[in-house]
Amino acid sequence: MTVDRRSIITNLFDINALKFGTFQLKSGELSKYYLDLRLIVSYPKILKQVCTLVSTTILKDDTNSKNQVRLCGVPYTALPIATLVSIDTNLPMLIRRKEQKTYGTKKLIDGEYSCGDDVIVIEDVITSGASILETVVDLERSNLNVSNVIVLVDRQQGGMQRLSERGLKINSLFNITEIVTILKEEGKLSDAVYQSVLDYVINNQIQPAKGCEKPLRTKLEFKERAELLETSKIAQKIFKISLEKKSNLCVAVDVDTADKLLDIAEKVAPHICILKTHIDAISGVTDATINDLQLLAKQYNFLIMEDRKMADIGNTVKLQYKKLVNWADLVTVHSVSGGMMLKGIQEVINENTDSLDSRGVFIVAELSCNGNLISEQYIKETVKIAEEYKDIVAGLVCQSPDVISSPSLLQLTPGVNIKNANDNLGQQYQSPSDIILTKGADIAVVGRGIYQDDNPAEAAKLYKESLWNTYLERISNS
């Protein structure tokens, strides 16, 4: 497929999709030009030209073939473009709604997909990047990976750079300087109009819209975050252990017997900051098992987290937690029953303050498995609860860098596996780089990639070094 780029620009000008003069934008700002690319749906030949150029760009990028790739147009102008590109490239398409359905499936993302699929986002124009980011965040919260963003026209006001700094791969087919240069050369634009547009671009670099930059949390070092007044004692302890051991690795030991649990725990102990258990799923656990686990934690300086995911009413959770508080430094909880559940846990912790070291919880805000029912509103309410009970909340279990803004809270992200992309039960895996740099994790959870390895100790060491070096890369680039 070949496309004459100059003819696309002149054709857009001829149909008045590129306008020059003085225009008031949605923001109230006065602009020297206006891009009305919605008009191209009324000109099939021009629409075909544009879509062919987008398709060619996608097919030339061989990195797009790594995983199953899907397309998603930013509502609304890019939707017909994405549809034709989907037909051209034979790549399936998703539709992201501007508002979540309140009926039927109540979906925000429509179409067939699996967690971990790559998505190429298509947009007509980029200024600040805010509309693109909204789409990216919603896709990521559906456990999809935005592998590329393709924009038809870059207004050159800072949006491309800001999204790139956020970790997104982004390409523009045209920028406004190229457009006005070609139109001037074709005799369609006067020198005065040409210069007024260039001056406008230089003098109208915009401030990033809220949420376009990486959260402050991901820019700060663990040491700085540990010293914040609002950081809970349990979060401070996690930061301290991570810094001392140079490890942000949490190993999930999801085995079925007590002997296997202790065997794996001893092998990985030197390399971890947290050991995640499912004691209720393990046979043969006795008081001696718990005691041995605590001795290992003390000897090798790590915390024990019982992944119980409690979700009942406050009084019931309080009774459940009393069985765990004496040995589990951390527990996981769901927020579905509201803040009173955390109040029950808080009361148990306060009752045992004199006899126990710091205790706390990680709240599950997002899941890494395919088909989970967590919605965007649920995530927002979960964050509010975490802020309300910050004295006992270490952080959130989530998959997206934009869920947690407070640097006093830790992001715990599961689903790391260097060798595999998924299992056959809906679990989707990410690389250490994906988890730390793209997903925004502070602590990464590795399970089968370590405990099913022939040499769990060496595997734990490998993951520890890879994850920690990626964390160092993240803060060095901030």
Mean pLDDT of 102-111: 74
Is 368 within any annotated ligand binding site?
yes
Specify the higher pLDDT residue, 314 or 115: 314
> Is 254 annotated to bind ligand?
yes
Q: Which long-range contacts (CB under 8 A, 24 or more apart) does 28-37 make?
A: 29/204, 31/200, 31/204, 32/193, 32/196, 32/197, 32/199, 32/200, 33/176, 33/180, 33/197, 33/200, 35/124, 35/125, 35/153, 35/155, 37/12, 37/77, 37/124, 37/125, 37/152, 37/153
Residue 215 near residue 410, CB atoms below 8 Å:
no
pLDDT for 107 equals: 76
C-alpha distances out from residue 181 to 21, 54, 127, 137, Å: 16, 21, 19, 35
pLDDT at 162: 86
Q: Is 210 annotated as a binding residue?
A: no
- pLDDT reported for residue 402: 87
Closest C-alpha among 170, 167, 179, 132 to residue 150: 170
**pLDDT value at residue 211:** 47
pLDDT in tens, 125-140: 999 898 998 899 888 8
179 CA to centre of own chain: 34
**Model pLDDT for residues 223-238, shown as the tens digit of each residue:** 999 999 889 999 999 9
Task: Tell me the pLDDT band of 357, cut-offs 50, 70 and 90.
Answer: confident
pLDDT digits (tens, 9 = 90+) for 185-226: 999 999 999 999 999 999 998 765 444 455 679 989 999 999
- Among the listed residues 154, 307, 434, 442, the single catalytic one is 307
CA 419-422-427 angle, to 5 degrees, is: 130
Q: What SS3 class is residue 149? A: strand
Q: Identify the pLDDT of residue 137.
A: 85
Asked if pLDDT for residue 307 goes beyond 90, the answer is yes
Q: What is the mean pLDDT of the chain?
A: 91
27 is in an annotated binding site: no
- Would the annotation count 276 as a binding residue? yes
Distance CA 408, CA 231 (A): 4
Tens-place pLDDT, residues 239-286: 999 999 999 999 999 999 999 999 999 999 999 999 999 999 999 999
Instruction: Reply yes or no on whether 323 is catalytic.
Output: no
Note if 45 is an active site residue: no
What pLDDT sits at residue 151? 98
Contacts of 28 (CB under 8 A, 6+ apart): none
> Per the annotation, does 111 bind a ligand?
no
Please state the φ and ψ torsions of residue 333, each to the nearest 5 degrees. Answer: -140, 155
Angstrom distance (rounded) from CA 38 to CA 163: 23
Residue in the structure block whose two tokens are 């579905």? 336
pLDDT at 370 over 70: no
Structure confidence at residue 214 (pLDDT):
57
Task: Label residue 425 by pLDDT band (50, 70, 90).
Answer: low
The catalytically annotated residue of 110, 118, 312, 391 is: 312
Over residues 137-180, the pLDDT tens digits come to: 888 888 788 999 999 999 999 999 888 878 789 999 999 999 99
**Is 307 in the active site?**
yes
Catalytic residue selected from 309, 322, 343, 390: 309
The least confident of 323-332, 346-355, 445-454 is 346-355
> So what's the pLDDT on residue 130?
87
